[in-house]
Structure formats: C-alpha cells, structure tokens
Amino acid sequence: MKYLYLFNNESRAAQYGIGTYIRQMISCLKRKDVYLLNIVNIDSAHKELQEEYNDGIRYINIPAIHGIYRYSERYYKNIAFLLFQYIEEEAECIFHFNYIHHLLLAKRLKQRFRNSKIIVTIHYFNWCSTLQGNISYFCSILWKDVKERNPFEANIFKEWLRDKELLLSVDRIICLSEVTKKLLVEYYDIVDNRISLIYNGLQDEAQILSKEEIFLKKEQMYFRSNEQIILFVGRLDVVKGIDFLLEAFREVLNQISDVRLLIVGDGEYEEILKRCTGLWGKVTFTGKVSKSILYEFYQIADIGVMPSFHEQCSYVGIEMLMHGIPLIGTSAIGLGEMILRELCIDLEEKDDMVIFPIDKLSTLMINMLVASSKEKYALIERQRYKERYSLDVMSESVLECYENL
C-alpha cells in the first residue's frame, strides 16, 4: 500500500481555503482504502513535534518558529530531518504539497526517498494578489530588461524565478483553473502533460427551500419577506472588490427600493463603513459566521455577487452554485470560468492598473433582481455545481491523478 503525505500550513491555511481543501481531500481519499494517509501540519500551534492518530489518519504536527530562519532553506532542511524518522526509506510515497514555498522541503524529501513522487496544488500565486490579477502587467515585468524594473517589479521577477525553478522540479502539478494551467505552460515552461486540472469540490449539503419557506425563514431572521437579498461572502479587502460593490449598490437602490445588501465576512470595517454613508439602512454586516448560519443566508439569497480581482476556484462560489444562487462575478483569474458568460463582468487591464466597470455590475444586479428568469438561472447554477464542482467529481479526478503518477 502506498503512503500519502498531505502537507498543510496551519498558520496560513485559512487564508486561501487550503484548510477546506485538505478536509475535502481527506473525504476523497477515505472513499477508497488505497493509501495510508498522513497529514503534516507545518507551523502548528503545538509546542513541540507531535505525532497523533485520529480516525485512521496519522497527523505529524511541526511547531512554528519565528525569526530570520522561518521559511528558509535551513528551516526546511531541519523539517526534512524531523520527518525522516517517521518515513521508511524504501516506502513508496506520494508527497502532496499545497504551498509553492514548501517545495524547498520537497527537494530534500525527494533526495532521501527515491521511490517517492512529488505533487503540488497551485492555490494561488503571490503576484496575482499583489498585481490584482493583472496578467498583462505581470508579463511586461518578465519581458523588461533588468535595468528597467523598479524595486517592486524586481521583487515580482525574483519570486517568479524561484517559483518556476521549484515547479519544474515536481512530478505533477494540480491547478484549479484553466487560466492557471495556461499560465504554467506559457510563463513557467511546464509541459502540458505534467499538469492536471482538477476543480475544487464540495459535498452537497444544500437544502433548497420553497418560496413559502424562504419567506418564513426571512421573517424568522427579521428580514422583510418582500425584500430581495444580494449576498456577498468574503474578506473585506481590496482584492475582493467590496468598494466597487458598494458603489454599484447605490445605483441599484436608485431603481429598486425593496433590496438589501448582506455582507458576510470579517476584515477592516472602518473604511468600508465610511463608504456606506447614505446606505446604512440597506446594508447589513454580519461579520464572520458559522457554516450553519452561512448556509441559512444562502437559502434566502436572491443573487450572489463576487466582484473579486483574484480567485482560483472559490469555495464561496461553489457554495452559491450548490444552493442554486444566480452568481454575478468578474472575469478575474480562476473566477471567470465559474461565472455564466451573461453574468460576467469583464475587468480591463491597463498598464499597471485593473479597471472595474461599476456600471456593468449595477446593471447586472438590477437586471437579475427584476428578471422573471431567476428560477431558470437557479436550476442552471445548481446543475453546473453537480457537473463540475461536486465532491464526487473531484474525488474521481484526484484518485485518477495519483494512480497515473
């Protein structure tokens, strides 16, 4: 039987949904008793190295360190030595990483365990967040002469060189979107047959309510039953486009009065609240909520909005599709292919900027709120979830990827 090691970083995992990804991977792998599953938690809250077993899975918890050696080659060299005592040298292992910078550790493991295979899932590129997903600007940085790059651009270039070297060293790369696959081929020199496109998947937990049940649920939560709800779920920061959503919502209110913007998520509220001046009676902030409460919000939402500049394969997007919520979103990396073409907002890349068409967002929200075809869209979105983003589809693809190593 093969050994599978899934690598996590506990201090950063929640940032990009990687914690959710690990949980879904565990669900996928438990369906077939093919691999002996091990979870390696780097940067764990434990004070010292700890090994524990839970539900047939071995967890190796490596404590966090702080200071200049964190995430250095020396740091990963030491982690490798710690792991050597837990892994048989001749064992047939798959080491599955979820952070590019962890591939410094992968190189050490590959040197020791010759029968092993290295996989990495690309959940994000740092430059995508830094440049707000501006691929044109990213390309221009790569093409510039070294003397033409400013310090900011030089750092982007240096990071790209490092990532490229590390990615070229692995046996298989899993990407979560078509755009990322194209980027890997065109700008990281990865050959197509070493890349697997596997979309994120979630277990179907949606409970679809009737119109009468939705009205009742709204009243129980003290929303007006005749008030339509626009739902945003995510961190309150620039990359999620929350500023543009609030501006577009102003225009919506100029034409439709019985509508509310429900914002679920935490972040820096001070600036966001300033932008709500004049909207206070129509915007509800819930902060971060439990999964059960979030799923109740999905049940009563009329439309969902994701005005992001950068995603990969958003779990929020998948949850909205699962609940049959008509989803308006941008053409951002990874997100564009989750959105129906007629509900997609095209972002414009201009030099080092990304221009967001606020008027297009407000128009789409208004059109969808007054449309008689919301039920049709709900069925379409739900079907798209089943065909592409269900846990069954993900599980089949992941197991096939491992088997073909």
For 77-98, the pLDDT digits (tens) are 889 999 999 998 888 999 999 9
- For residue 327, being part of any structural domain is answered with yes
Under the banding of pLDDT at 50, 70 and 90, the label for residue 67 is: low
Looking at the structure, do residues 316 and 303 belong to the same domain, yes or no?
A: yes
Looking at the structure, do residues 180 and 298 belong to the same domain, yes or no?
A: no
Domain with 90, as residue range(s), is 2-123+170-201+391-403
Q: For 248-271, write each residue's pLDDT tens digit.
A: 999 999 999 999 999 999 988 888
Q: For 151-177, write each residue's pLDDT tens digit.
A: 999 999 999 999 999 999 999 999 999
> Closest Cα partner for 231 from 249, 213, 207?
249
- For residue 227, being part of any structural domain is answered with yes
Looking at the structure, do residues 308 and 339 belong to the same domain, yes or no?
A: yes
Q: For 316-334, write each residue's pLDDT tens digit.
A: 999 999 999 999 999 999 9
In residues, how long is the chain?
Answer: 405
DSSP 194: G
pLDDT, mean of residues 126-149: 95
pLDDT, mean of residues 10-32: 80
The sign of the CA dihedral 105, 110, 115, 118 is positive
Q: Give residues with Cβ within 8 angstroms of 125, minimum separation 6.
A: 100, 163, 180, 183
pLDDT, mean of residues 186-204: 97
Looking at the structure, do residues 192 and 243 belong to the same domain, yes or no?
A: no
Whole-angstrom distance, CA of residue 390 vs CA of residue 199: 9
- For residue 129, being part of any structural domain is answered with no
Neighbours of 317 (CB within 10 A): 26
Under the banding of pLDDT at 50, 70 and 90, the label for residue 64 is: confident
Determine the pLDDT at residue 371. Answer: 84
- For residue 153, being part of any structural domain is answered with no
Using DSSP bridges, classify how beta strands 348-350 and 353-355 pair: parallel, antiparallel or unpaired: antiparallel
User: Which strand (E) or helix (H) includes residue 255?
Assistant: helix 242-255
- In CATH, what number is assigned to the domain containing residue 304? 3.40.50.2000
Q: Which of 19-28, 61-70, 118-127 has the lowest mean pLDDT?
A: 61-70
DSSP string, 103-157: HHHHHHHHHH-TT-EEEEEE---HHHHHTTT-HHHHHHHHHS-GGG--HHHHHHH
Looking at the structure, do residues 184 and 215 belong to the same domain, yes or no?
A: no
- For residue 80, being part of any structural domain is answered with yes
Q: In percent, how much of the chain has pLDDT > 90?
A: 79
> Closest Cα partner for 17 from 138, 121, 170?
121
Whole-angstrom distance, CA of residue 246 vs CA of residue 75: 44
Looking at the structure, do residues 63 and 77 belong to the same domain, yes or no?
A: yes
Q: For 1-17, write each residue's pLDDT tens digit.
A: 789 999 998 875 455 58
Determine the pLDDT at residue 73. Answer: 79
Looking at the structure, do residues 193 and 70 belong to the same domain, yes or no?
A: yes
pLDDT, mean of residues 119-148: 95
C-alpha triplet 102, 87, 26: angle, nearest 5°: 65
- For residue 234, being part of any structural domain is answered with yes
Number of domains in the chain: 2
For the cut 50, the answer to whether the pLDDT of residue 292 exceeds it is yes
Neighbours of 12 (CB within 10 A): 15
- For residue 296, being part of any structural domain is answered with yes
Under the banding of pLDDT at 50, 70 and 90, the label for residue 353 is: very high
Looking at the structure, do residues 308 and 249 belong to the same domain, yes or no?
A: yes
Q: Which of 17-31, 141-155, 169-183, 321-335 has the lowest mean pLDDT?
A: 17-31
The rounded mean pLDDT for the chain is 93
pLDDT, mean of residues 129-146: 95
Determine the pLDDT at residue 13. Answer: 47
Looking at the structure, do residues 195 and 234 belong to the same domain, yes or no?
A: no
Whole-angstrom distance, CA of residue 374 vs CA of residue 385: 17
The sign of the CA dihedral 257, 260, 261, 266 is positive
Beta strands in 315-393 (DSSP E): 327-330, 344-345, 348-350, 353-355
Q: In percent, how much of the chain has pLDDT > 70?
A: 97
Looking at the structure, do residues 22 and 108 belong to the same domain, yes or no?
A: yes
Looking at the structure, do residues 252 and 356 belong to the same domain, yes or no?
A: yes
Whole-angstrom distance, CA of residue 13 vs CA of residue 311: 15
Q: For 363-399, write each residue's pLDDT tens digit.
A: 999 999 998 888 899 999 999 999 999 999 999 999 9
- For residue 261, being part of any structural domain is answered with yes
Looking at the structure, do residues 343 and 365 belong to the same domain, yes or no?
A: yes
Determine the pLDDT at residue 45. Answer: 82
pLDDT, mean of residues 115-142: 95
